[in-house]
C-alpha cells in the first residue's frame, strides 16, 4: 500500500516537476539567446565600478571607444547602458522615450526630494505628469520667464557695479565665486522673493547648503549599487549621517521661507514669486485634484529649483569665461559684436540679446565642451526593447554621455579646440531637437527651465564682456588657465577662475 501511494504521488508530481524544469531550461536558454550590448567584463560583486575612476564621464568615454556607442557596464549589481552617440541618444530620448523616461530610486535623490515628490527625480507616472505640467505651464513658461526679467537685469547690474570697484582698485576677481553669487541671488529672488546678499543667510551658510545638497545628489552611495547590503556601508562611511544633516538644513531653510510667505499676505501678483505660486496651488486645490499638494511637495519642487538653478547657470558662465580667457581672439570678436549692437548704453538688456549672434555661438561651443551635466540624470527602463539590435531589459539604468558626444572626433573637427564659428550656418541647438548638443537633455525628461536659465546666462555674459576688458593675473599666459574638472553631479572647474577686469579704453565710467 505504501509503495502504491509513493508511485501514485510520483506519478502526480512528475508532470509539474518536468514542466518546471522545462520552464527553467527555457528561461536559461532565452537568457543565453539575448543579444546584450557589448561592454567590459565585470568583476564579481563590484562589476565595473573599479573602472569608473575619479571622473566617470571621461572613463566611460574611453571605454566606449573600445566597446561602442551602446555599452553595457555593471555598476555593482546594477546593469547600466551608456549611450555615447547622437543616433543612440535619439533612440533613447525620442524613439523609446516613453519606455526610458522613469528614474531609478537612489539614496540622495530620494531623501532630498522628500521621497520623490519633486519634478526631476520622481518615477514616471501620474504624479510626474501633473508636476511636469505645472512646471511647463506655470513655473517656467515664457510668460513667467518674462515676468522675472527685471530680477535678472537688476542682479546683473549689481554684479557689474561690484566688478567695477575691483577694476578701479586693480584687484583680481574670483569669477567662479562671482558667477555663483549672481545665480544664487537671481534664483533666490525668483523662487523665494528676495536675494540673500546682506541678510542673515549671507554668511556662507547658503552656499554651503548648495554645495552639500549637490554633493549628496551626486554622491557615490553603496546603497545605489548594492541594494541588499549597501546601507551598512553608507552608515559605516558616514554618508548616511551627512545626508541626514544636509536634508535637515535644507528642510529648515525651505520651512522658514514658506512660513515667511504664509505670513506675508501678498496681494500684488506682479511680484509673485514661485513660492507664492505653489502656496496658491496648495490653497486652491479641490478634493477632486489628481494629486494632493502639501508642504512636502512644495519643498521638493523648491529643491529642484534651488539646487539646479544656482549651480547650472554659474557653471555655464564659468566655463565660457575660462574659454574666452584662453582664446583672446574669440573674446575680442564677441566684445566687438556686443559693443557695436549696444552702442553707448551702460548696460545690455534682454531686448538686445537677439542681436548677439556670435555670443550665442560662443555659448553653444562652450556647452559642447563643458556641459554642466556631463552624464544626463540616469533613466530607468520600464520594459524590454531593442536598441540597434541589442536587447535592453526592464529595470536597466540608462545614461547618455553628453560630454563624450561633445568631443567625438567623428562628429566635430578638432573637437578639443574652442571654435564658435563651427556653429555658423548650423541648425544645431541645445533645446532637445539635436542630439549632438544635449546640454538640457531631451524628450519627456528634458529640462523645463531652459528659457529661464539661458536668459540669465546670456544676459550675464553679455554684460561682463560689454563693460570690461579682461586680463589674466600678472605672470599668467592663456595656456596657464586651468581647465581641470572637479567631480560631481555637475562638473565644475577644479581651479577657480581668477581674472583682472579693466575698463575699456573708450570709457571713463561703468
pLDDT band at 61 (very low <50, low <70, confident <90, very high): very high
Cα(196)–Cα(389) distance, integer angstroms? 53
| Length, in residues, of the chain | 510
Domains of the chain are 37-502 (1.10.630.10)
Cα(456)–Cα(30) distance, integer angstroms? 53
Rounded-to-10 torsion of CA 204, 205, 209, 210: -30
- pLDDT over 80 (residue 478): yes
User: What nine digits make up the cell of 68?
Assistant: 561602442
Q: Which of 205-209, 379-383, 485-489 has the highest mean pLDDT?
A: 379-383
Task: Tell me the pLDDT tens digit for each residue of 40-49.
Answer: 999 999 999 9
- pLDDT over 50 (residue 19): no
Which residue ranges make up the annotated binding site for heme? Answer: 447
Task: Tell me the pLDDT tens digit for each residue of 178-225.
Answer: 999 999 999 999 999 988 665 555 657 888 899 999 999 988 899 999
Give the distance, in angstroms, between the CA of residue 255 and the centroid of all CA atoms in the same chain.
25
The pLDDT of residue 39: 98
User: What nine digits make up the cell of 307?
Assistant: 539646487
Which residue ranges make up the annotated binding site? Answer: 447
Cα(194)–Cα(201) distance, integer angstroms? 11
Give the distance, in angstroms, between the CA of residue 148 and the centroid of all CA atoms in the same chain.
22
Can you give the three-state secondary structure of 32-94, one letter per residue?
HHCCCCCCCCCECCCECHHHCCCCHHHHHHHHHHHHCCEEEEEECCEEEEEECCHHHHHHHHH
Q: Are 64 and 80 in contact (CB under 8 A)?
A: no
Contacts of 74 (CB under 8 A, 6+ apart): 39, 42, 47, 48, 80
Task: Tell me the pLDDT tens digit for each residue of 258-297.
Answer: 999 998 876 666 678 999 999 999 988 876 567 788 999 9
User: What nine digits make up the cell of 410?
Assistant: 567623428
Q: Are 398 and 380 in contact (CB under 8 A)?
A: yes
Amino acid at each position: 500500500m505504501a509503495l502504491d501511494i509513493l508511485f501514485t504521488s510520483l506519478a502526480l508530481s512528475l508532470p509539474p516537476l518536468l514542466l518546471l524544469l522545462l520552464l527553467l531550461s527555457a528561461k536559461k536558454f532565452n537568457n543565453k539567446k539575448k543579444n546584450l550590448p557589448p561592454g567590459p567584463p565585470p568583476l564579481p560583486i563590484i562589476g565595473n565600478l573599479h573602472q569608473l575612476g575619479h571622473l566617470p564621464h571621461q572613463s566611460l568615454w574611453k571605454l566606449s571607444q573600445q566597446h561602442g556607442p551602446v555599452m553595457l557596464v555593471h555598476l555593482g549589481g546594477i546593469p547600466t547602458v551608456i549611450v555615447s552617440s547622437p543616433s543612440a541618444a535619439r533612440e533613447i530620448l525620442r524613439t523609446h522615450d516613453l519606455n526610458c523616461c522613469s528614474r531609478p530610486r537612489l539614496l540622495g535623490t530620494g531623501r532630498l526630494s522628500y521621497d520623490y515628490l519633486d519634478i526631476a527625480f520622481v518615477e514616471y507616472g501620474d504624479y510626474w505628469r501633473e508636476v511636469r505640467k505645472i512646471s511647463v505651464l506655470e513655473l517656467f513658461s515664457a510668460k513667467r520667464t518674462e515676468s522675472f526679467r527685471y530680477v535678472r537685469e537688476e542682479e546683473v547690474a549689481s554684479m557689474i557695479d561690484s566688478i567695477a570697484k575691483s577694476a578701479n582698485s586693480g584687484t583680481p576677481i574670483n569669477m567662479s565665486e562671482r558667477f555663483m553669487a549672481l545665480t544664487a541671488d537671481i534664483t533666490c529672488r525668483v523662487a523665494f522673493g528676495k536675494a540673500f546678499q546682506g541678510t542673515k543667510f549671507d554668511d556662507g551658510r547658503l552656499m554651503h547648503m548648495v554645495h552639500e545638497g549637490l554633493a549628496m545628489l551626486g554622491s557615490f552611495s553603496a546603497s545605489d549599487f548594492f541594494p541588499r547590503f549597501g546601507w551598512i556601508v553608507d552608515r559605516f562611511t558616514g554618508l548616511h549621517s551627512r545626508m541626514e544633516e544636509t536634508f535637515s538644513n535644507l528642510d529648515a531653510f525651505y520651512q522658514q521661507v514658506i512660513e515667511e510667505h504664509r505670513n506675508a499676505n501678498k496681494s500684488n501678483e506682479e511680484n509673485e514669486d514661485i513660492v507664492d505660486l505653489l502656496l496658491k496651488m496648495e490653497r486652491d486645490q479641490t478634493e477632486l485634484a489628481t494629486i494632493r499638494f502639501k508642504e512636502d511637495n512644495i519643498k521638493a519642487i523648491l529643491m529642484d529649483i534651488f539646487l539646479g538653478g544656482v549651480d547650472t547657470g554659474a557653471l555655464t558662465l564659468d566655463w565660457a569665461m575660462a574659454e574666452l580667457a584662453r582664446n583672446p581672439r574669440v573674446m575680442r570678436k564677441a566684445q566687438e559684436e556686443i559693443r557695436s549692437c549696444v552702442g553707448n548704453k551702460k548696460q545690455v538688456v534682454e531686448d538686445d540679446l537677439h542681436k548677439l549672434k556670435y555670443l550665442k555661438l560662443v555659448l553653444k561651443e562652450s556647452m559642447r565642451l563643458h556641459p554642466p551635466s556631463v552624464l544626463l540624470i540616469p533613466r530607468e527602463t520600464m520594459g524590454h526593447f531593442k536598441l540597434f539590435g541589442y536587447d535592453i531589459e526592464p529595470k536597466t539604468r540608462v545614461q547618455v554621455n553628453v560630454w563624450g558626444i561633445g568631443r567625438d572626433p567623428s562628429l566635430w573637427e578638432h573637437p578639443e579646440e574652442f571654435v564658435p564659428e563651427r556653429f555658423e550656418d548650423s541648425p544645431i541647438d541645445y533645446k532637445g531637437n539635436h542630439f549632438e548638443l544635449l546640454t538640457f537633455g531631451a524628450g519627456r525628461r528634458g529640462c523645463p527651465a531652459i528659457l529661464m536659465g539661458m536668459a540669465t546666462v546670456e544676459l550675464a555674459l553679455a554684460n561682463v564682456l560689454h563693460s570690461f576688458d579682461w586680463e589674466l593675473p600678472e605672470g599668467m599666459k592663456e595656456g596657464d588657465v586651468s581647465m581641470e574638472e572637479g567631480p560631481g553631479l555637475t562638473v565644475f572647474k577644479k581651479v577657480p577662475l581668477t581674472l583682472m577686469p579693466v575698463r575699456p579704453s573708450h570709457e571713463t565710467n561703468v
